[in-house]
Chain A
């Protein structure tokens, strides 16, 4: 399943650059010691901009929840329907979520609560995208 390509912008460039290096980084406010994702221009708690930094994650998480997409608005994915879209919680902070197609998992057979590890897939314009694979 090839996802849309990504044109990194100023806010998210560090995230996508790290992905190209097969690394997962998440925004962190070093005053609040609080991760946040999706990236924002300011800390969602203290409102400061200059305290934000990018911190590398272990790439380990758990499956929190999932849905099965049968009618997708993104043209590039419509021939792949139906497909899983799962929500992954990072081990470092279960409040931080990422989406995943869970490559290798059959449609609607998602092991909620299962462990996952990060992998990186190439998108339509060569940008690498974080994805997640179930591990035992």
Chain B
């Protein structure tokens, strides 16, 4: 079986579609996480493939099903955005040979196929549906939600894994060469790092609304605090360090106005969820968390990088799609878990949602209030990537755990966890899921 990218028709990308036809009929039940590490140590048992298998098995066990009940698999085949196996480095033969291989020697090492997983998980004997949700977990969740709703699969595993290698992220390859191809050169030869685009939007935002970078400090401290209560996360496991305002405000710039801590830390990790029908979920081990809607934006910037106007227009449109398909309004949200890989765009997501009535230009002021899990306006209770390292899925795990009452010390107490939204990555484009503790 070789999967392909899910067809475009599976994504809900337009306004005016009405309530999602499978609202409340699909549920997340099981959650499985691998350990985390800063970089791969080249041992077979810690490879991205090995940790993917671990996460999948944990999700199956957490849901209380047997592997042969699983009939669907949606994964993200790309396991990095900036750490690539160098062309001149010998392949890690021991790690490759420790598993059943596909024709690509880096499968299970620096990328992941459904074929590799199924060759190495003999217990999955009944997979009838397999698809890729490209880019990140947010995308894969949308595919799995629609697939279960459409009856393509009734018990579906969803997986995203990340690897990280020695060396600095995004360095090496084309960036280390004395010349590059014409298409890449249009953007890359000016040397802007990954956070540059977001930094530009934030700079324009501050000029337009009269705000400052220092106003981000409470959000940062809150996110790291929440992340330290996420035992599955990198900081909690390896470096349980708080982030004070002084720590944040004095950090070195990467692409001013984005500093070191505005950029998430790349790690190696895998997470998996088990989705099923609302009917089947009743007999599974954990409390079901119902999917009320999924929404996607395919908006691209007009030119080299999104302007603030484009960001504000698209986040507002995304907010409208999220609410329309779920049949809710902003007032119904118990909390939000939007993406924060570059911290400086989390506020754009909040403003687009109109979370707690925030309007454009008001989110940084909102951060100065009580945004803790104990308060009435929790912001990023997962702690996101800032709290736990670069995964793009802490937000989803947290939504499930909060609504199941399994978030431990991170459990929101200032609000009753009933409905939440998570997704990303960027303010322009991205995939979003609305979760609920009840099916209606």
A74/B203 in contact, CB under 8 A: no
Cα A36 to Cα B303 with chains together (Å): 7
In the complex, identify which listed stretch (B144-152, B168-176, B369-377) lies at the interface while the others stay far away: B168-176
Closest to A14 in B: B182
Residues 179-205 (chain B) with a chain A CB within 8 angstroms: 179-183, 185-194, 196, 199-200, 203-204
Cα A9 to Cα B189 with chains together (Å): 15
A49 within 8 A of B: no
Contacts of B183 in A (CB 8 A): 9, 11-12, 38-39
Contacts of B416 in A (CB 8 A): none
A85/B192 in contact, CB under 8 A: yes
Distance (whole angstroms) from the CB of B77 to the closest CB of chain A: 23
A76/B185 in contact, CB under 8 A: no
**Provided the pairs A9-B183, A44-B300, A65-B204 are in contact, do residues A72 and B256 lie with their beta carbons within 8 angstroms?**
no
B177 within 8 A of A: yes
Contacts of A125 in B (CB 8 A): 178-179
B186/A15 in contact, CB under 8 A: yes
A122 within 8 A of B: no
Contacts of B304 in A (CB 8 A): 37-38, 87, 97-99
Closest to A75 in B: B176
Cα A100 to Cα B253 with chains together (Å): 19
Distance (whole angstroms) from the CB of A34 to the closest CB of chain B: 10
**Provided the pairs A68-B253, A68-B255, A73-B170 are in contact, do residues A7 and B191 lie with their beta carbons within 8 angstroms?**
no
Partner of A12, one of B177, B186, B194, B257: B186
Residues 16-52 (chain A) with a chain B CB within 8 angstroms: 16, 36-39, 44
Closest to B255 in A: A67
Residues 266-325 (chain B) with a chain A CB within 8 angstroms: 300, 302-305, 307
Cα A76 to Cα B176 with chains together (Å): 7
Distance (whole angstroms) from the CB of A44 to the closest CB of chain B: 7
Cα A123 to Cα B188 with chains together (Å): 13
B252 within 8 A of A: yes
B300/A4 in contact, CB under 8 A: no
Closest to B169 in A: A73
B254 within 8 A of A: yes
B257/A124 in contact, CB under 8 A: no
B238 within 8 A of A: no
Cα A76 to Cα B168 with chains together (Å): 15
Contacts of B170 in A (CB 8 A): 73
Cα A95 to Cα B304 with chains together (Å): 9
B305/A6 in contact, CB under 8 A: no
Distance (whole angstroms) from the CB of A93 to the closest CB of chain B: 9
Cα A69 to Cα B303 with chains together (Å): 20
A67/B257 in contact, CB under 8 A: yes
The count of residues in chain A whose C-beta lies closer than 8 Å to any C-beta of chain B is: 48
Closest to B194 in A: A73
Cα A51 to Cα B162 with chains together (Å): 41
Distance (whole angstroms) from the CB of A88 to the closest CB of chain B: 9
B207 within 8 A of A: yes
A67/B303 in contact, CB under 8 A: no
Taking each of B179, B191, B194, B257, which has the highest tally of chain A beta carbons within 10 Å of its own beta carbon?
B191
**Provided the pairs A38-B187, A82-B253, A95-B303 are in contact, do residues A73 and B193 lie with their beta carbons within 8 angstroms?**
yes
Distance (whole angstroms) from the CB of A112 to the closest CB of chain B: 7
Partner of A108, one of B179, B182, B196, B256: B256
Contacts of B168 in A (CB 8 A): 73
A7/B182 in contact, CB under 8 A: yes
**Provided the pairs A4-B178, A4-B179 are in contact, do residues A67 and B199 lie with their beta carbons within 8 angstroms?**
yes
A4/B200 in contact, CB under 8 A: no
Contacts of B175 in A (CB 8 A): 73-75
Partner of B253, one of A9, A71, A99: A71
A124/B178 in contact, CB under 8 A: yes
A3 within 8 A of B: yes
Distance (whole angstroms) from the CB of B338 to the closest CB of chain A: 23
Contacts of A44 in B (CB 8 A): 300
Cα A52 to Cα B168 with chains together (Å): 39
B182/A15 in contact, CB under 8 A: yes
Distance (whole angstroms) from the CB of A73 to the closest CB of chain B: 4
A71/B189 in contact, CB under 8 A: no
Distance (whole angstroms) from the CB of B254 to the closest CB of chain A: 5
Distance (whole angstroms) from the CB of B248 to the closest CB of chain A: 16
Residues 128-161 (chain B) with a chain A CB within 8 angstroms: none
A96 within 8 A of B: yes
Cα A74 to Cα B189 with chains together (Å): 7
Closest to A101 in B: B190
- Using A15-B186, A87-B305 as known contacts, list a sample of 19 further A-B pairs with CB atoms less than 8 Å apart, ordered by residue number in A: A4-B189, A5-B179, A7-B181, A11-B182, A12-B183, A12-B185, A37-B304, A38-B304, A39-B186, A65-B200, A67-B199, A67-B257, A69-B254, A71-B252, A74-B188, A76-B178, A85-B192, A99-B190, A101-B190
**10 interchain pairs (CB within 8 A)?**
A4-B179, A6-B189, A12-B185, A39-B186, A67-B200, A69-B255, A71-B254, A96-B303, A99-B190, A125-B178
